[in-house]
Every structure is written in C-alpha cells, then in structure tokens.
Structure 1
C-alpha cells in the first residue's frame, strides 16, 4: 500500500499553532513570495487579510507587466520634467536616440495637455495626441501620448505608446514616388508629345514604364498585355526580360485555361503566385521562373489589360508589391488609353475634313463640268477648243476620284490612276510577295499594282491565312496590315522571322492606329518599314523596292 503524498502549504504573514513541518512560513509579501506563488510548488496558500490584498495587487501588477512586455509597441510613463518613471522591455530595446526624443516629446505633451485645462476632459477621458519623428536617416518612429488625469490636479504625467514606423513610412514614400512617376506617364497630351508619331509616343511610354518598373519597383522581368475587344485576346504591348516563346503564347481574358493573366483579366482580381511549381494556373514565362505577380490594368470600372511580373526566386512578391503594382497599373492603363484616343482623334478628324472637302467641292466641280459641256456645244467646228474643254472635263473627273479616294481614308490606295499597264521593274520582277489586309479594296489594289510591276502576289484576307501561307511557301517580302482578325501584324512579322530571318516585312496601319503596338515591337526586331494609310502608290513602291534592295536576302541573291 502506497504512502499518501504530503500537501505543501505556504503561510504568508501568519503562523497557526497546528502547522507542521510541511508548511513554509514567510513574514511578509515580497518579490520572493510572489516568485514562490508563481512557481506552482505549493498546494495551498494561507495569508492574513492584509497580506492577501497585497498578494492580489501584486498578481494583477505582474499580469499587467506581462501584457505590456508582450505587446509589440514600446510603452512608458513620463513626468513633466521629461524623466521616464517606467517603461516596458520593448521601449528599453529601442535605440537611445529614440528614447531621448520620446522623453522630449512627452515633456512637451504635458505642457500641451495642461494648456487645455481640466475642463477639456470629460468623464476622466482625455484626447490623445500623435507625434512622429525620425531617428537618424534610416528609422522613423511614431507615438501616441495620453495624459494621466487626476481630479482637479494639473497633468504631471503622460503615458506614451511608441512604435517603429520605418516600414510604413518607406511604403508611404514609395507610394508617393510611384504616384509621381505615374503622373509622368499620363503627360501624353502636351504639345511636345502631340508632335510625335504614334510609334514614337509608345516608345516614350515604354521607356518610362521600364525605367519606373526597374528603378522604383525593382521589377526586371515583366510584360503588359491589353484586351482585344473583338475576341478578348490578351495582346502583348510591352515586354522586358522575357523570352520570345513566352510572348508567343495565345492568352484570352477567361478565368480558366488561360493562365494567371487570363484569370486576372477576366475577374479583375490581382494574383500572387508564390511558387510556380505548385500553381496549376501558371504558364511559361522567364526561364527558371519561381514566382509571379499579376495585376489588372483598370480604367474606371473596365479591365483593359494586365501587368504581369516574374521572378526567379520563390515567394518574391508580397502584399506591398501587389499594392505598388496596382497603383502603377492604374497609370499605365490611363497612358495606354490616352495613346489610343490621340490616334483615334487624328483618324476621326482627318475623316471629317475629307468628307467636308468632298461636300464643299461637289457643287463647284459640277458647275465646271456643266459650263464646259455648254461651251463644247457652242464651239462646233473649233476642234482645238473642243479638245481643250474635254480635257478640262477629264481633269475634273480625276479630281473627283482623287478627293473620293482621300475621303475613303484607310480603305484606299492613292494615285492608282497613274499606274500604267505592264510597268515591269527589274527589282520587283519575279519577286514573291505576300499581301495581308482584311480590307478587300486595299489587298486587291496592292496586289494588282505589284502584279503589273512583275511580282507574283499571294493575297490573304486575315492573319491566320497569312501565317498559313508563310509556313507553306517562301516569299521575298511580306506586306501586312497591323490590325486583322485572328492574328495581328506583329504575329505575322514574328512568323516571317521564324521562317527566314532575312525576309523583309512592311507593316501598314491606318493613321498610325496600332492597338497592339506591333510597330514598336517589330521595329526593335528588324522591321523594314511602316506605311500609314492612306498612302500613295509611289510611296508604297519606294518602300517595297528599298526593303528588297537593302535587305540581306537581296544581297545574297546578287
């Protein structure tokens, strides 16, 4: 049979006669007594009423100290003279320079609270005051000081809560820098910018975006895609530090099956991929990519594209990076929209002017023809005069056709009446040329002109058909519109480059309208020329001949 375990009793400030040797007696309440109580080695505590009250007070104080030493902020009590009456461990761990400034601020706070007077404080509650101050060049602190109120007595102490605000201050400053950089992107409507061509404007925007992304956001590998409203395809606009194969992947603004970019464009929600190997949505990007950040490009309530950033480190992006990218992304969206509006405005203005010219010239031209016909009837027998009058009528008709062609804008080629049949050109003779344009009048007109100059032309009505022909046969030159169904101008250019690096490519666009920014991307990779519609026949022929004679493929043929 086991021996019963003896119970241990702690007697504080009392000594009953019946206590035995298992009782540990202490004369009063001190730190050693509180340590014994907290050690848990005693089963029972006996104390006088006065000692019990002291024990309870000490236990509450210990709990308060535990709380104050556990929280993440510094806490201290400061008197009017600027001396610290008490501080927690966090406050004691701050740099001495921080403590010195806190004491000065709290001393000043006591004076401020006293100037308000006791009548300012209702129900023993006092308003707190917030202060912020730097420590050296690298740290920034903030504190909230609250007065210790005693009825009808002046304020002699304040309690201050102090925290290291360095990270939040840096974030605030970085947001300000991003905001300033973003505003620079939006400065595209100034007189200097208005004089630039659409390609030059986009190049300027691209340089600004790359500079801000690298220097301010520390993003080295990224791409910007815009949504094509016709088929919701995400078209590459600007790319930096990404391999060509990553840019050739077709993605659409759909939540499933189109990678993270498609998901973000469809839902409008930012997405942080902490580990690409564990995320099924991730699709090929930079080599050895380990994490990515994708945010929507939002214009008011509409998603116009995505800003995708990649890193070769796992977990490279945090919530701060997401917030920075979203702020910068708003300015990118505004800038891209401004570029398109400038081009559309130019196109619409040119079209309106041309229509006005046609309307204004119609009556005078009709009057000239009517008068000429009347004069022809009057000059019967004067063949020389009749011939001259007939020539005037022919010239008027030529003017009508020319003005009508200009009014058609991007849907026509100017100067086709000057083309003579069988105008063989030794540079063009026998050359195989691929022509791609979704405007039937453009592609057939260009095809007819080049055929008359001795070329063998293949005409395509859309981008898919053009790429199919490129893969099937060899061509000496490609002449393609930028904006077509299924594939854009850059994709046709890239397909031609894959087939033959020496194949010259000329892109065409109406009034510089380039929603996918094919010109800028292709120009960086060897584009031969750009024709802005409506262009003249002579201009087109000059660019075609120049591309054929200056390109490496022509030199090899010689």
Structure 2
C-alpha cells in the first residue's frame, strides 16, 4: 500500500482561494500539482477534461456560481414569458431587463424605472414597515392609449435595506379594451330591455318592434362592429325560424325556409336545434353554411336563449375569412341574451293585452249570463201565454232572438283567442253602408275563427265575402276571380302574405290589399316589401271591428279615386 505521505494530489484553485490556501500548498511542495482558474465555470470546464482530486473555492465564489446556474435555468423561461421583467437600482437604471421588457415602448420603460425609484424612496422614508416591505405594490400605467399593470417588489440586503426593486410588467391593453367593451355592451343591453312603459304603451305592435329594431341595429353596429346580421325567432308550432329582423343582408335570405333541425337547415337550424353558438371561420369549408351576404367568408351564429330555452337565433356574417374571434362570440352571446329578453317583454305586453281582453269578456259574461237566461225563460213563457196575440208574439220573438244573439256573442268573445275583439253587431242584421255594400272581398287566414268572424262582420254590411284557409288556395282563387279588396294574414302555410299581395296586384293592380299579423311577426319581410309596392294597410291582431272597418273603408275609397 502506498504511503499517504507520498500521495500526489491534483489541486484546482478557484480565484481568491489561492490567497487563503497558498501557505498550505507551499508546505506540500512536490506532492501537489496546482492549477488555477478565475471562476467556478472555468473549474467545471477543467474538471471535465483533467483528473482533479481537490477543488479549492471561496464561499462567495461558490454562491455566485450557484446564482448564475439558477439564472441559466430561469433566463430561457423569462425570455419567452409574456410579461416584461426587470431589476432597477436606486439610480433608476436597469441592472437587468428581460428581452420582453426591452421591447416595450421607451415611455413605458421610463415610467417603470420611475416607479421603481419611487418604491425605493417609499422604503427609505420608512413607508414600508417590516416585514411589509417584502410585499409588492400593484400599479396601473396608461401611456399612449396603452395600458400596463406593474408589480413592484423590493430587493433587500442582509440588513433588510432596500437596494433595488424588481418589476413585472403586463401589457393589459387588450384585456382592458375587452373589459370596457363588455361594460359598454352590458350597459347597452340594459337600455335595450329598458322599455319606457308610457312610450311603448302608446304604440301598436309594429311600433314597438320598430323601437326594438332601431336599438338592436344601433348597438350591434356601434359596439360590436357587426353590419350584416339577422334575427330569427322560432315558431314553436311549426319549428320554423321566422326572419323578424335583417340588415345588410340580400333579400334572398327572406326566401330561404329554415327549421330548427341539426341537418339540412344551415348553421342557424343547427344552432337552434342544439342551443349552442357556432363560429364558422371559413364558409367555403363548412357544408352547413347557407349563402347569406354576397361573398360571405365567415359567420357567427348564437342562440337566443330564454330560461335555457331557444327562442331564436342571432346570426352575423362577414366578407372576411376568420373575421370573428372567441371574444366576439362571448360578446354576441351576451347581447343575444338581452335581445331574447327584450323580445320576450314585447311578447308579454301583447299577451297581457289579449289576456286582459279575455278577462273582461269573461267577467261581463259571468255577470250577464244569469239574468239573461232568466229573461229568455220569461219571454218564452210569455210567448206561450199569448197564443193568438200574433203581433205581440212577433215582438216577443224578436226580443228572444236578440237576447240569444247577445248570449252567443258573449260566449264567442270569451272563447275566442287573439283576433277580432269588441264585436257587437248581430250576424243576422245587415247594416247599410254605401262604401261597403256590394263589395267583393277575399279574406285569407289559416285560423278558422278569424276567417269566420271577419266574414260575418263584412257580410253584416252587405259585402260579398269569399275566404281561403291558406296562401295557396288564395292565389288559386285570385287567378279565377277579381275582388274589390283582399284581406290576408302574413304568416300562413304554403304561400305567405306577400305572395298573396303580389297575386292580387297581378290580377288587378288597383286592388287594395290589407295584411294582418300577430305579434308583429313579419316573416320574409312581407310588410316591408308590400309597402314599397302599394300596400293599403296593416292590422295587428287583436284588432277591433271599428278598426277593421275603418281601414277597409279607407282602402276602398282610396282605390276608387285612383285613375
């Protein structure tokens, strides 16, 4: 075994360690081979290539090496981070700054250095009490329409003196813009559903829809920069999506039937059936897309939801590929929810009017039916008692007939749904009216109660009335006969109100046409299109007999004076 005294050692000395271990190495003399380097990094390099038995290094050099090694691992992560990171000394200079930090505008870099100096000043003046000085401070900076958030953290020495400040800087410009846009949309949405009761109460259904439409178009354009969009409402009876609002879209979209089905009904049909929004970045690659605007390249469709129930679809299109982002989807979903609420409010206003009318009729019927039945019973007894008094019996029979008609009218009013209200005239009585008498009128509606009621009223004024249960039958009748006036519902099976209007005008360009509709629904924009071509009037159900007769008289008089 070799004696330890003769053992030869290869010693590697790092930097100032030679000053501290020099005397020891001199005593060992030839038994050691000494090699010196200036840093721990160099020592690592030598050790990888030469046999080294002992490494002499000072504690400070080793600590510096460990810090550098840690920085070596951290720097790549910092360089690729989305935040800017820096360390600033008390002179307001960067001790170190990440690449991201150095890419920020000079004005932001200057502002961050100023904030760091202010933080050091706070600490020097004692505004940081131990250990609170170890906590950071959060500051928001706005420069040149850009917004940044800065988190400042003091760097202390062993005596807890703040000697530097580290800063982490986030560019929150886009985040804040989105936040402000969201706040603006929420504010607009509140205005959308804030309907002035006094103002709205004075408007008919179309007027209410016009107010809502103007708000939707304005907010959609101003806040979300959407210029081409449609709003469809779902008809629960037919499962069809009826177009109620369209802007920036060609007229052909009115002619496309869309149902709430997952297949074969475009993106809107898919959205309505699933109740989830749909972002189409490239229409040329999406088989569900049905042509909307000219050169449509992308679309965004969101459901109108009310208590998790789909009541329609809000659809937006663009002539740019991938024009809509996930942020747009979020904003559209929020806005669509408020559109649904606003439409629901208008529905409730009309429904309340219908219900109120029904309650009034019901209350009147309950109050009158008992005494009325008693009177009819008494009259029947008198008729039996006055056998031989023919003149008196005739007068009693007239009283009985009139009482029966009142009873039937009350029953009809109570049972009838929304349509014609306040009907007071007898079916059997014929009143002389020089404007209406002898006029041939075609009544078109898919609801039998409406057809029968309107027909009875008009016949009571001497009109010759023919009726049709849908648009297809009406167009066939118009192909065979001419009329002095056509009264047609808008929304019917087969052919809609506009198509009936067009057929009537084709038969006789001077024939006045009045269109009827329920809660302002104007599928295919029948009213808008017909008004451009000479529509006489629009009646919104429920309407009163006086209103119906007034519009018909006006239309006939106007047509009579037209050359």
Question: With structure 1 as the length reference, what TM-score do the two structures score?
Answer: 0.77
Shift of 1:170: 0.8
Counterparts of 2:482 and 2:91, CA distance in 1: 91
Partner of 1:93: 103
> Does the aligned pair in 2 maintain the 1:405–1:412 contact within 8 Å?
no
Shift of 1:172: 0.6
Partner of 2:139: 131
Quick one: which of 536, 545, 550 aligns to 1:528? 536
Does residue 1:275 correspond to 2:282, yes or no?
yes
Shift of 1:77: 1.6
> Does the aligned pair in 2 maintain the 1:434–1:458 contact within 8 Å?
yes
Shift of 1:55: 7.3
Counterparts of 1:256 and 1:519, CA distance in 2: 22
Counterparts of 1:141 and 1:316, CA distance in 2: 27
Shift of 1:280: 0.6
> Does the aligned pair in 2 maintain the 1:202–1:517 contact within 8 Å?
no
Shift of 1:207: 0.3
Quick one: which of 166, 178, 181 aligns to 2:173? 166
> Does the aligned pair in 2 maintain the 1:463–1:487 contact within 8 Å?
yes
Partner of 2:498: 493
Quick one: which of 250, 254, 271 aligns to 1:243? 250
> Does the aligned pair in 1 maintain the 2:430–2:462 contact within 8 Å?
no
Shift of 1:471: 7.9
Question: With structure 2 as the length reference, what TM-score do the two structures score?
Answer: 0.76
Change (3 A) 1:263 1:349: same
Partner of 2:216: 209
Does residue 1:436 correspond to 2:444, yes or no?
yes
Counterparts of 1:100 and 1:264, CA distance in 2: 51
Quick one: which of 173, 178, 184 aligns to 1:177? 184
Aligned to 1:71, the other structure's residue is in SS state: coil
Shift of 1:189: 6.0
Partner of 2:519: 514
1:270-322 CA-partner distances (Å, limit 9, x unpaired) = 11111111111100211111111111111121111110001112221111111
Quick one: which of 344, 353, 365 aligns to 1:346? 353
Q: Which entry has the higher C-alpha Rg, 1 or 2?
A: 2
Unmatched 5+ stretches in structure 1: 1-10, 15-24
Partner of 1:254: 261
Does residue 1:103 correspond to 2:93, yes or no?
no
> Does the aligned pair in 1 maintain the 2:444–2:467 contact within 8 Å?
yes
Quick one: which of 327, 334, 341 aligns to 1:327? 334
> Does the aligned pair in 1 maintain the 2:427–2:457 contact within 8 Å?
no
Counterparts of 1:456 and 1:83, CA distance in 2: 97
Counterparts of 2:429 and 2:307, CA distance in 1: 54
Unmatched 5+ stretches in structure 2: 1-11, 16-34
> Does the aligned pair in 2 maintain the 1:202–1:520 contact within 8 Å?
no
Does residue 1:362 correspond to 2:372, yes or no?
no
> Does the aligned pair in 2 maintain the 1:141–1:164 contact within 8 Å?
yes
Counterparts of 1:528 and 1:472, CA distance in 2: 22
Quick one: which of 317, 321, 344 aligns to 1:337? 344
> Does the aligned pair in 2 maintain the 1:203–1:520 contact within 8 Å?
no
Shift of 1:215: 1.2
Counterparts of 2:373 and 2:459, CA distance in 1: 35
Partner of 1:227: 234
Q: How well do the aligned residues superpose, as a CA RMSD in angstroms?
A: 4.4
- Report how many aligned residue pairs link the two structures: 516
1:487-523 CA-partner distances (Å, limit 9, x unpaired) = 69xx3225533774756432335xxx41634598615
